[in-house]
Amino acid sequence: MTVTIVGSQLGDEGKGGVVDIYGDGADVVVRYQGGDNAGHTVVLGEETYKLSLVPSGAVRGTVGVLGNGCVVNPETLFEEIDALRERGLDPDVRVAERAHVILPYHRVLDGIEEEAKDDLAAGTTKRGIGPTYEDKAGRRGVRVGDLLDPEVLRERLEYVVPQKRALASEVYGVDPDEAFDVDALFETYREYGERLADEEMTVNCSDYLNRRLDDGDDVVFEGAQGTALDIDYGVYPYVTSSNPSAGGVAVGAGVAPAVVGDGDVIGIVKAYLSRVGTGPLPTELGGVEGQTPGYDGPADADDEAESLAAYIRDEGGEYGTVTGRPRRVGWLDMPMLRHAARTSGFTGIVVNHVDTLAGLDEVTVGHSYTMTTRDGETRELDTMPPTTEQWARCEANLRTFDGWPDVDWADVVDAGWEGLPEAARTYLTYVSEELDVDLYAVGVGPGREETIVLEDPFD
């Protein structure tokens, strides 16, 4: 059977940790979209693992698969595998031959295009994700299987690289460096192909997974990013270039929708919102320069929204892992969650970071929106509107809940649901009832042991 883990919001909801918890019962963990734009954390005692490409089951020694819906940078994949080996793990990663390869020119172009886009820039991770998916759709991509066949690899590169050189130099006025050199690329990527072959890492993903399922194995699909970053269901154009929502599994791993639908689809929810990147955010608290549209600093020194944002940001560690930049934060956005639950068909949710909000007098949610149209008419919405321009015209109708105290969370985990402060239970019950899905687990800290598990999808 399968269990699918999907981000409900804007990424970083704590998907990696949930894969680790439920991965106890899994035989295979599969990424079905995205690439090394992801950063999934598994905390095990004193050890923290930050995984970008290696599926989170690696911490438990479970086989990981990068499905054909992923875009794979062999350089960062091998770096990550080598670093994990140095730390004593033995990641067994299989890569779909149909997955597309991120080449150096994709990364260069991601950076150049972000700058050129100005206000339309999503604030990408600059890992080359968008340009690689563009080439996939444009039928000029290089696939993992091509790395194993030097003749095909050279043919593909000879076709596509001159186009990329021209794009860089003639459209963007940037001098193409070795990232745009056919011979250099061929040598390096042929070697990656050899390593993939030597370590027997490549698979026919759909065939491999269906055989494992036929043998009775349990599979976890590990979504990256989140529904509001989905290229179809997210806040376009401030999105990633793949489908993190559950529909992405069937296409991105080659497992039939009915098989995916037969298992649980679990939405991972952060108890508030955080966002890296630009675009509107109706429940945002305060702002972050360079990311919040039109924001150029706090209105005054003791602005309440700003101090709440600072509190949540500090308690939740909401700073970029690489840059250290503050992330945007806001209250839970229920229309965003209703949209996520519907598009992926959640059968359950896990709410993380309940400890982060502890100590606030009140906890607020955006329950619904009032959208003002261009003609000045108002409309009530309980889900996200289809365009980002409409979303920017939404004002959140807030609901306030009593806050809960900071307690000894280890005791709470021991006591289970009843051990949670009553106000936290009221909040969680509201979220679960509004979405009409069961609460499967509650995160009260980053560690494996800091989660109250109410339902195990493999039981």
Catalytic site positions: 12, 40
CB of 70 to ligand IMO, least distance (A): 12
Tokens of 112: 């150049």
Residue 445's binding partner among ligand IMO, ligand GDP, Mg ion, none (Cβ under 5 to 8 angstroms by kind) is: ligand GDP
Cross-strand bridge partners of residue 269 = 351
Query: Smallest gap, in angstroms, from Cβ of residue 21 to ligand IMO?
Result: 17
70-to-132, 134, 224, 254, 398 alpha-carbon distances in Å:
10, 13, 10, 12, 38
Q: Which does 125 bind (CB under 5 to 8 A by kind): Mg ion, ligand GDP, ligand IMO, none?
A: ligand IMO
Tokens 């154009």, residue located? 237
Binding ligand GDP (rule: CB under 6 A), the pick from 193, 403, 446, 457 is: 446
- Which residue type, as a one-letter code, is found at position 191? E
39 binds ligand GDP per the rule CB under 6 A: yes
From the list ligand GDP, Mg ion, ligand IMO, none, pick the one residue 237 interacts with, judged by a Cβ distance below 5 to 8 Å according to partner type: none
> What does 443 bind: ligand IMO, Mg ion, ligand GDP, none (CB cut-off 5 to 8 Å by kind)?
ligand GDP
Indicate whether 275 belongs to the interface with ligand GDP (CB under 6 A).
Answer: no
Contact 295, 289 (CB under 8 A): yes
Question: How big is the CA angle at 343 (ends 68 and 254), to the nearest 5 degrees?
Answer: 20
Alpha-carbon span 100 to 98, nearest angstrom: 6
Residue 184 one-letter amino acid: A
Q: How far apart are CA 404 and CA 193, in angstroms?
A: 53
Give 56 or 368: the residue with its C-beta nearer to ligand IMO: 56
Beta bridge partners of 47: 44
Q: List residues binding ligand IMO (CB under 6 A).
A: 7, 11-12, 37-40, 122-125, 127, 129-130, 224-226, 229, 238, 240-241, 276-277
Question: Could you tell which of ligand IMO, ligand GDP, Mg ion, none binds residue 356, using a CB distance below 5 to 8 A set by kind?
Answer: ligand GDP
Q: At what angle do helices 182-198 and 150-166 cross, to 10 degrees?
A: 140
Considering CB under 6 A, how many residues would be counted as binding ligand GDP? 21
Q: For the packed helices 129-137 and 104-117, what is the interaxial angle rounded to 10 degrees?
A: 100
Residue 268 CB, nearest approach to ligand IMO (Å): 9
Site string for ligand GDP, 414-443 (x = CB under 6 A): -----------------------------x
Looking only at the bridges linking them, the beta strands covering 362-372 and 394-402 are antiparallel
In the complex, least distance from residue 452 CB atom to ligand GDP, rounded to whole angstroms: 10
Q: Which of 76, 169, 185, 175 is nearest to 126 (CA)?
A: 76
- Residue range at the interface with ligand GDP (CB under 6 A); choices 37-45, 155-163, 229-237, 239-247: 37-45
- Min dist CB 11 to Mg ion, Å, is 6
